[in-house]
Amino acid sequence: MNRLEFSFGNAVGHFQKTGGPKGFLWKFALTYALFAIIVQGLSLYLMAPIYAAAFNPIVMEDPDVMDQVMLENMGRVLLGYLVSFVFGILMWVLFEAASQRRYMRAEGFGLKFGGDEGRLLVVGLFWLGLIIALYIVMFLLMIVPITIGAVLGSDGAIIAGLLTFVLFIAYFVAAIWIVVRFSPAGAMTIRDRKIRFGSAWRVTKGKVWTLIGSWLVLALIMMAIIMALYLVFAVMAMLALMPAFLSGSDDPAVVLAAFASPAFIIPAIIFGLVYLAFAGGMMHVFGGPAALAAKTDPNWADPNAMDDTFA
């Protein structure tokens, strides 16, 4: 099978066929996990008083005390959410740029903030606008069956219900279709070093179902691995917490002490690290199908560069 041919098999496994220096995926995944831990750790530090109160049996039993703790730390909580939001966007820009440079230019792993990242940030704003528009359309569509139900009264309840169901399914399919049509926007932006969004619609013509199918397969694989990780952690957590539950004690401090024990904390840390690294790796893997659509664009002005990335 031609590695540059846009097909289901190539789309699913495109992350393995990018060319370039070896070791990209594991470097990407581990660095993503490290960044995620730093961001979440900073957010956790800012929200620490709230978490401490939530796990304090005395505070938990008194809603007034809990409300007082919330009011006293409202500034830290809001700052924690702001940190998560801002650094979350920054992480997406940095890692998405690194991922697409690999796909479109066969570069090794590296994070920086330059022209690629700036252009991707604009593309992200386009995505935000599209998502907001889709939500507005969904809201407007829901007004139709609600209006019919209000006009017809109880006699129109069944009609309104059926219409709501039909409109929801139709809208859901249409929304997915639209999102998939624009999915190569980031890859094309990195490819051309220019902001591309509308042109992604042309690139995905005739490729939508292949893209959806490849993402479904990747999602099923991801879900199976995540379920296996959760199962292993659940068994380890159960073994760590079982003595506290079998003791028959009604004291919440006994249960909290079990959660704070090394037998629970160490597996939880390992699980968190593995989970975050896996999530980072899948971010890159999921970008493969749309990147392949951009790479196999017949109107790409530099087809020789396309072939060079697979040398």
Please provide residue 4's backbone torsions phi and psi, each rounded to the nearest 5 degrees.
Answer: -95, 0
> Across residues 30-38, what is the average pLDDT?
93
Q: Which two tokens stand for residue 156?
A: 């129109």
Instruction: Report which of 58, 2, 34 is spatially closest to residue 276, judged by C-alpha positions.
Output: 34
> Across residues 132-161, what is the average pLDDT?
78
Name every residue whose Cβ is closer than 8 Å to that of residue 3 and which is 6 or more positions away in sequence. 10, 17, 310
Q: What's the CA gap between 295 and 19, in Å, rounded?
A: 13
Per-residue pLDDT at 217: 96
pTM of the model: 0.82
> Across residues 146-163, what is the average pLDDT?
71
Per-residue pLDDT at 81: 82
Per-residue pLDDT at 153: 65
3-state secondary structure the chain: CCCCCCCHHHHHCHHHCCCCCCCHHHHHHHHHHHHHHHHHHHHHHHCHHHHHHHCCHHHHCCHHHHHHHHHHCHHHHHHHHHHHHHHHHHHHHHHHHHHHHHHHHCCCCCCCCCHHHHHHHHHHHHHHHHHHHHHHHHHHHHHHHHHHHHHHHHHHHHHHHHHHHHHHHHHHHHHHHHHHHCCCHHHHHHHHCCCCCCCHHHHCCCCHHHHHHHHHHHHHHHHHHHHHHHHHHHHHHHHHHHHHHHCCCCCHHHHHHHHCCHHHHHHHHHHHHHHHHHHHHHHHHHCHHHHHHHHCCCCCCCHHHHHHCCC
Q: Which two tokens stand for residue 205?
A: 């013509």
* pLDDT band of 1, cuts 50, 70, 90: very low
Choose between 142 and 89: higher pLDDT: 89
> Across residues 51-57, what is the average pLDDT?
62
Per-residue pLDDT at 311: 40
Mean predicted lDDT score pLDDT of the chain? 83
> Across residues 245-274, what is the average pLDDT?
72
- Res 305 pLDDT > 60: no
Q: What's the CA gap between 10 and 17, in Å, rounded?
A: 8
Per-residue pLDDT at 154: 66
Instruction: Report which of 211, 178, 162 is spatially closest to residue 8, judged by C-alpha positions.
Output: 211
pLDDT in tens, 82-137: 888 889 899 999 999 999 999 999 999 999 999 999 999 999 999 999 999 999 99
Choose between 42 and 251: higher pLDDT: 42
- Res 49 pLDDT > 80: no
Choose between 76 and 38: higher pLDDT: 38
Q: Which two tokens stand for residue 254?
A: 């006994």
pLDDT in tens, 189-233: 999 999 999 899 999 999 999 999 999 999 999 999 999 999 988
- Res 187 pLDDT > 90: yes
Contact 196, 126 (CB under 8 A): no
Per-residue pLDDT at 191: 94
- Provide, rounded to the nearest whole percent, the portion of the chain with pLDDT above 90: 48
